[in-house]
Amino acid sequence: MATAKVMTSIYLTPAQKRTLASRARQHRTTVSEEIRSTLDRHFKECGTADASQLGVLAAEANKAMDRMISKLDETHATVAQLCKSLTRRKP
């Protein structure tokens, strides 16, 4: 039984179109089949992140940003204090 397909239009560069056409000739398939198989390979290799995985990653990124901001604030305060003490020493 054939898998249902949905027509989709995409814009390709001329080089991409030539490469796809060449691959299709080599594999005795169509350009459309080359695009579908390439997408299938990509999704299989990269996997698909679900919303909960993305939420965990976002939370970790936010914690890391908070730590960085805190360190930057500490550094800024130290530099400001050093600048004050240096300006007091000038005759």
Task: Give the model confidence (pLDDT) of 31-81 as tens digits.
Answer: 999 999 998 888 887 776 676 777 888 899 999 999 999 999 999 999 999
The rounded distance, in Å, linking the Cα atoms of 91 and 89 is: 6
The rounded distance, in Å, linking the Cα atoms of 87 and 81 is: 10
Whole-model pTM: value is 0.49
CA distances to 20, 52, 86 from 30, in Å: 9, 37, 73
Predicted pLDDT at 48: 65
| Dihedral over alpha carbons 7, 19, 16, 8 (to 10 degrees) | 0
Predicted pLDDT at 45: 78
The arithmetic mean of pLDDT across residues 6-25, rounded, is 93
